[in-house]
Structure 1
Amino acid sequence: MESFPTRICGGMHHISEAVFVRMCEIVGTSQQVAIRRETEDLMEMVGRRVKSYDSTIMMLSGSHREGFRLEGSDIDFMFWPKNHRVIMDMSQSVYYNTANTALILSDSSESPPGFTLLQLLTPTTNSDVQSACVRMNDRVYISSSIWRQLTCSIVFQNSTAHGPCGSGVRGRLEYDTAWCFECDFWPLFASSWLDRCHLWPDSEVVHDIVRNGCHFVAIGHPLGPHEHEEWRLSFSQAEYKLVSSMNHCQFLIYGLLKLFLKEVMNQQSEETNKLLCSYHMKTTIFWAIQQNTLPHWCPQNLLAGFWVCFKLLLKWVYEGVCPNFFIPQNNMFLTKVHGSAQNRLFLQLHELYKKGLACLLQSSSIRSYIINVLYNPRLSICTDESKMRSEVDCDVELVNESSKVVFPTLELFGLTKAILTIEHLLESPLTQYQVTIIQKLTASFFQNTAFEFHNMYTYTGCNKQMYIADKMSCHMLKLAAKFGCISDMLYIAMYYYKTLRYREALSVIKMTKVKLAPPYLMYRGHVDRERYTEAVGGQSWSTRIRQAVAVEITLDNRISYISELIPEQQSALQNKFPSLCIPVFVMLHFLEFLCYRHIDTTLSQAALDELQVLVHHDQGLYVRDLGRDISWEILGICQQITGNLQAALYSYQQSLITQYSLHMIHAATHRRIQDVISH
């Protein structure tokens, strides 16, 4: 049987290069992927260090953590209580202080490979853990099914159970949240994986993986003796480290497999489109790399690497066995890919196999690139990543990723720990991207702390303390603006408004307006590349971010910034949404309107008119879809303040019916509508 059709085989290296370029466009260059990964790595490192021992750890996992930003992909989060640890045998208990750590024993004696029971050994103060406990054979075990029910909607309300996760949609993003338990030790029944690591990954990665242990997620084996009590081992951290150790060509083949699954394999029939998932693609590329099936994983061999993986997947479907990469005895096809469904899936994949690499022509994302090379065999293709993406592209990537960074809200006694953490990080070797993220972290930290200080000492009523707190708050906000981006100046204006210094606030707003006016401004990924390069190209990142970059204003909903937005913050918090993300120009006009109300009503109305034009007529340049609910809300608040109740009612109604209601402020909007109607 011919593996490659003759027409494609002749120029396969050339076509591979074209597909490599296309996949860099879809997935990103190695530099862009590095920015994404390093941002998350640093955030996780800081988060773990500043969290108290009785708090919850959050870790981004799945494809988003690995560096993909594919359209339609969901975002996976893992959560676990920091003061609970799973051990593999009783001898490991000596490493813990049971006065502040609840110990859980993994008991896999009666479970299928990759699954286990979790026996609670020591008392716990965690009410969810207590509620999930069941007694079997005079021992106390944590039931995975009860735990799953209890934790499904902890992070986001009204989530639905999906495997071990709570799933749902926020804005346009689908999410999965898994509450699990952490284990510091590598499981004995995954020891065979260590013996296989001769060529890949290298010993340093292997040691790092083993040192970081594993997790247990709340799902039992459907054919196991204790399905409702069992837990599944999760190697999410290990998988991330393996993906990070791939070269970029291998990572792009992984991306191509995910794309091929979505656009080709899952489009064959309704009967089979749920049998294979992205995790099977990841497992395939892991095995293919470790088995050294290709001597050189490079752009010219990208299609050869894809074909190796596809043939391996076809073999697994034929045999009905997909071996877990860490525990091969765990057949991940056992409950789904069998019987008539397995036969139908194999026949469909075999039809694709018979077409050879021409089957890739069924992928809408890369079809035109293959055809272009077939009809232009002398076409010159550049696989030099530095020429595919400019400095501006990396700046956009860095701004997009760093704008997601929000320093966790801390009690004031934890601030010293946070400062020491930042200082310690600055002394360690850092990439240029990580330095940028630390800048953003520190700016966010100073901004939130400044408002926390003010709120705390306002309640004490002590003038001297309030004076000192005010001086410190002003200093922190100005410091944040010095190494932050243009929009960070608006936090100073917010603080001045909050402390009734309207003229000072307006002075900052005017200065911010001037800085936001240049045609080379980078905001939300929109930028005039030529003018941006002319204005700040070649300068240090610190200079570029101060002079040419703005991001949306993020308000932590646990902190009071502007009294007019407290109902919206409370509404979002009730729905477990942590922050309001307000378009920078909306916030600028909002603050301008609020300040001028106390000084000049004519200028106040002018600011409101500008805000109204922006919210009504912007086509996504300054107000993104996900920011329209809060933007209409703010416009309505301003209109209600001026007494234009009819216009306010319309704005609130628009806030409710926007396509993507990201911020979960419905309760506040309904109350405001009732208030308008009653007047």
Structure 2
Amino acid sequence: MLAMRRDVMDIRDKVENQMTTNYGYSEMVSGSRREGFRLKESDIDFMYWPNNYSVIWELSQSQYYNTHRQTLILCDCSNSPPGFTLLYLLSPRMNREIQRACVRMYNRHYISSSIHRQIMCLLSSIYSTQHGPCASGTVGSIEYDYTCCFACDFWPPSASSWIDRCHSWPQPHVVDDIVKNGCHFVAIGNKLGSHEDHEWRISFSLAEHKLVYAMNHCQFLTYGLLKLFLTEIINNGVGDDDKLLCSYHMKTAVFCVIQQNTLPHWCPQNLLGGFWVCFKLILKWAYEGVCPNFFIPENNMFLSKIHGKNQHQLFVRLYRLYEKGLAFLLHSPSIRSYIINVLFNPRLSICTDEHTLISETEFDVNLYEEIQKHDTYSKFNIQSCTRYLHAVEQMMGSPLLTQYQVLVLQKLTAGVLQKTAFILYMETCTQENKLRYRADKISCHMLKLAAKFGCITDMMYIAKYYYKTLRYMEALSIIEMIKVKLAQPYVMYRFNVDTEMYTEAVEERSWSTKMRQAVAWYIKLDNRIHYISELIPEQQSALQNRSLVLFIPRLILFYMLEILCYRHLDRMIAQTALDDLQTLVHYEQGQLISIHLRDVSWQILGICQQVTGNLQAALYSYQQSLRQIPFSKIRTSTEMRIHEVCLQNQ
């Protein structure tokens, strides 16, 4: 399972990075989701940096660059605490954003981290809000942080001692790989430094990512236990401003314990033992008031926040837990059920074998869930979509791809083809007939091709396109095909699946065939593309609230398209479909419509009732939409539609 998650993230990161390089910058995905965790609080961190700027530690390193093409930045650590530095521009050549972020000190131009952070967060604030050095936002239920930084090809001199400490872990080839890939600089200064507003923090995110991948399974599970311990015990009920320990402290503890070889045997039988050793190290740090950075030990990560009264309170709390022994883990709802028998019977051990813990069908569910969460491409023009498809085509021929990565590339291809088809329509719908006809042929071909790569519900995009281009009979023929496929008892919809029927139907098939024949998902609409005119207000409302994607349950959109098509052809059948939609929305118990998508489901029911003339029912549906969890961020459009219905009723 862990290998699958990482393969999915790795291949998507590789494709995205190849694309961003074409736009003059590089991107790296990090965060706990990239590491392989799928905890409730797991997020994705994106770091991106301009390719035409490089940071060096000393002037002699400038010989490795073409200074006519590359703007060099020199580190000045002379007046900064360990782990931080000032960035001094060696060349007057710079882009407008960098120029605006410069301040003059010591007769030099330095890039101010605080000004640079404000500028970059403002540039991305259309869909995000500023949070520390990051621009933060959500896509569906996943939180993300975008951090604009600078890259350095050289390993920091202040971290050279780390290389000498790597005797037993990680292996030499991992150390070499980490060192040759250098580091990054993120726009945040040390609160206790004399140049807090202008300093940059040295980031080892890429190195940490490689170190987590270098852990064995038991070490990784220990890291996971520490993260759950932090969230569900230490920080449970504590406000963000009052949290003293963070996930980075947990990660540092695991790294230190592994490298120092404190625990000789990392195995399932000793999982709780590994946790206990890490916990005692954190307790020691709290007692001493010193948490050394894993790469630069001189950088005390407790210094800015955990000292004095805070340090004392943290130590007292951790020591009380220490006195209780491992039994305090029973206070964690996520951990309790797995360890309770082991705590009371030392002869037992915790099962960590995923083949024992999950069935083949459960694995398939998780695989398709993982792919669906990472199959979105954010660019919005024909040129970038074409380049993306070309990049995917090049990668598909690689013999190094895993079977999971091939599946991801297929699903990414389907998504990009769908997006390209609708963008092409938007760009040519007002052109002359001949050009419009050719574009229409291309769009139809791309959508049919996408359906061969994707899952059952990817056929819905063909129906949407036919409806958009007023071909109602063609749209209904696709809808009938989808209806037959969705009616099969073995079809998997998110986590709902008849395991026995699914196994019997597709057990020996490839994952690609399973996805195409037996997997259905919710529909994702890019809010910058107008797929259905009746949903434009909802997409615009979501976009205004920094949401790029609108998620719709498969049956909700299915019935909507059926109603919209039949109202032009047969109003009696349209009414029957509307009755089915109303029954679904009113009485569905959470299997077909998740609680987070009830707002958009009620909204679509209201739209269908309104267009068929039942204004009172539409008003009730819109009011129900307002009472749901505002996951889809469509409140503005709901209020607008309520006002519209009230005017029509007058």
Q: Judge same fold: TM > 0.5, yes or no.
A: yes
Asked if structure 1 preserves the Cα contact closer than 8 Å seen for 2:111 and 2:198, the reply is: yes
Greater shift in the superposed pair: 412-421 or 530-539: 412-421
Change beyond 3 A, Cα 1:377–1:342 = closer
State the number of aligned residues.
646
> Which residue of 430, 440, 446 corresponds with 1:459?
430
CA distance change for structure 1 residues 567 and 303 in 2, over 3 Å: closer, same or farther?
same
Deviation at 1:166, TM superposition (A): 4.3
Seen in structure 2, the aligned counterparts of structure 1 residues 617 and 179 have a Cα distance that, compared at 3 Å, is farther
Alpha-carbon distance change, 306 to 117 in structure 1, aligned in 2, over 3 angstroms: same
1:272: how far off? 11
Q: Which residue of 2 aligns with 1:275?
A: 244
- CA 1:191–1:471: 2 relative to 1, 3 Å: same
**Counterpart residue number, 2:419:** 448
- Structure 2 residue aligned with 1:367: 336
| Gaps in structure 2 of 5+ consecutive residues | none
Q: Is contact 1:60-1:77 (8 Å) kept?
A: yes
Of 425, 432, 436 in structure 1, the residue corresponding to residue 407 of structure 2 is 436
Matched, 1:667 2:636: yes
Name the residue aligned to 1:10.
none
Q: Residue in 2 aligned with 1:578?
A: 548
Cα-to-partner distance string for 1:547-570 (whole Å, 9 max, x where unaligned): 210111112222232222223223
Partner of 2:265: 296
CA pair 95-523 structure 1, distance change in 2 beyond 3 A: farther
The 1:361/1:488 distance shift into structure 2, 3 A limit, reads: closer
> Once superposed, what is the RMSD of the aligned Cα atoms?
2.8
The answer to whether the Cα contact below 8 Å between 1:496 and 1:504 also exists between their aligned partners in 2 is yes
1:179 aligns to 2:148 (yes or no): yes
Match of 2:176 among 201, 207, 226: 207
How far off is 1:415 after superposition?
4.2
Residue from 142, 145, 150 that aligns with 2:119 = 150
Aligned position for 1:655: 625
Instruction: Using the TM superposition, name which of 631-640 and 429-438 deviates more.
Output: 631-640
How do 1:117-266 residues align onto structure 2 when only pairs under 5 Å count? 117-122=86-91, 127-152=96-121, 154-155=123-124, 162-167=131-136, 175-266=144-235
Report if aligned partners of 1:53, 1:83 keep a CA contact under 8 Å in 2. no
1:36-91 per-position Cα deviation (integer Å, ceiling 9, x unaligned): 22211111111111236446655442212211111244543434445444333344
In the other structure, the counterpart of 2:388 is 418
**What residue number does 1:475 align with?**
445
1:554 corresponds to 2:524: yes
Do the aligned residues in 2 keep the contact of 1:35 with 1:398 (CA within 8 Å)? Answer: yes
CA distance in 1, matches of 2:547, 2:239: 36
How far, CA to CA, are the matches of 2:631 and 2:62 in structure 1? 44
Shift of 1:101: 5.2
Structure 1's 268 and 200: CA in aligned 2 closer, same or farther, altered over 3 A? same
Whole-angstrom CA distance in 2 between matches of 1:158 and 1:403:
21
Residues in 2 aligned to 1:272 and 1:314: alpha-carbon distance in whole angstroms:
21
SS of structure 1 residue aligned to 2:334: coil
SS of equivalent to 1:599: coil
Alpha-carbon distance between aligned partners in 2 of 1:496 and 1:158, rounded to the nearest angstrom? 30
- Alignment-derived partner of residue 34 in structure 1: 3
Distance change (3 Å), C-alpha of 1:271 and 1:46: closer
Alpha-carbon distance in structure 1 between the residues aligned to 2:237 and 2:453: 53
Contact 2:113 2:198 in 1 (8 A): yes
Match of 1:626 among 588, 592, 596: 596
1:354 match? 323
Distance 2:615 2:24 in 1: 45
Q: Give 1:455 shift.
A: 2.2
CA distance in 1, matches of 2:68, 2:538: 41
Work out the CA distance in 2 between the residues paired with 1:67 and 1:438. 19
Identify the residue that residue 406 of structure 1 maps to in structure 2: 376
| Length-normalised TM-score, structure 1 | 0.88
Cα 1:55–1:257 shift into 2, 3 Å = same
For each residue in 1:414-458, what CA deviation from the matched residue of structure 2 results, as whole angstroms up to 9, or x when unmatched?
344323311221122111111110110111111111222222222
Is residue 320–residue 333 contact of structure 1 (8 Å, CA) maintained in 2? yes
Deviation at 1:159, TM superposition (A): 6.3
Q: Does the 8 A contact of 1:635 with 1:651 survive in 2?
A: yes
Amino acid in structure 2 at the alignment position of 1:443 = A
CA contact (8 A) 2:17 2:28 kept: no
Shift of the alpha carbon at 1:376? Answer: 6.0
Give the superposition deviation at 1:171: 6.6
SS in structure 1 opposite 2:73? strand
1:564-603 correspondence runs (5 A): 564-603=534-573
Is 1:640 equivalent to 2:610 in the alignment?
Answer: yes
- Superposed CA deviations along residues 187-230 of structure 1, whole A, max 9, x for unmatched, are 22222222222221122322332333322222111111101111
Q: Which amino acid aligns with 1:552?
A: Y
8 A contact 2:25–2:50 mirrored in 1:
yes
In the alignment, structure 1 segments of 5+ residues that lack a partner are 1-31
Q: Would the alpha carbon gap of residues 72 and 413 (structure 1) be closer, same or farther in structure 2, given more than 3 Å must change?
A: closer
State the secondary structure of the residue aligned to 2:75: strand
2:425–2:443 CA contact under 8 A, matched in 1: yes
3-state SS, counterpart of residue 51 of structure 1: helix
Q: How far apart in 2 are the matches of 1:102 and 1:321? A: 38
Distance 2:241 2:618 in 1: 51
CA contact (8 A) 1:214 1:235 kept: yes
Distance 1:101 1:639 in 2: 60
**How far is the alpha carbon of 1:408 from its aligned partner?**
3.5
CA distance in 2, matches of 1:591, 1:294: 60
Contact conserved, 1:582 with 1:627, CA < 8 A, in 2? yes
Cα 1:141–1:619 change in 2 (3 A) is farther
In structure 2, relative to structure 1, the CA distance for the partners of 1:478 and 1:201 (3 Å cut) is same
Match of 1:518 in 2: 488
Q: Does 1:532 align with 2:502?
A: yes
Residue aligning to 1:605: 575
Within 5 Å, which residues of 2 pair with 1:306-321?
Answer: 306-321=275-290
User: Which deviates more, 64-73 or 221-230?
Assistant: 64-73
Shift of 1:543: 1.8
Q: Which has the higher contact order (CA 8 A, sep 6+)?
A: 1
2:530 aligns to what SS in structure 1?
Answer: coil
Partners of 1:552 and 1:269 in 2: how far apart?
A: 35
Aligned to 1:87: 56
Matches of 1:259 and 1:35 in 2, distance apart?
Answer: 22
* Greater Cα offset, 304-313 or 250-259: 304-313
Instruction: Tell me, in whole angstroms, the C-alpha distance in 2 between the residues paired with 1:380 and 1:250.
Output: 16
What do the CA deviations read for 1:475-520 (whole angstroms, capped 9, x no partner)? 2111111121100111111111122211111001011011111222
Distance 1:270 1:48, change over 3 A: closer
Residue 502 in 1 paired to residue 484 in 2?
A: no
Change (3 A) 1:164 1:51: closer
2:305 aligns to what?
336
CA distance in 2, matches of 1:477, 1:468: 15
Contact 2:127 2:548 in 1 (8 A): no
Separation of aligned partners in 2, 1:401 and 1:553: 15
For residues 82-121 of structure 1, the aligned pairs below 5 Å read 82-93=51-62, 102-121=71-90
Quote the sequence identity (%).
61
Matched residue SS, 1:110: coil
How far is 1:390 from its partner?
1.3
**Who is 2:356 aligned against?**
387
Quick check: 2:269–2:349 contact (8 Å CA) kept in 1? no
Work out the CA distance in 1 between the residues paired with 2:646 and 2:47.
44
SS in structure 2 opposite 1:329?
A: coil
Distance 1:180 1:610, change over 3 A: farther
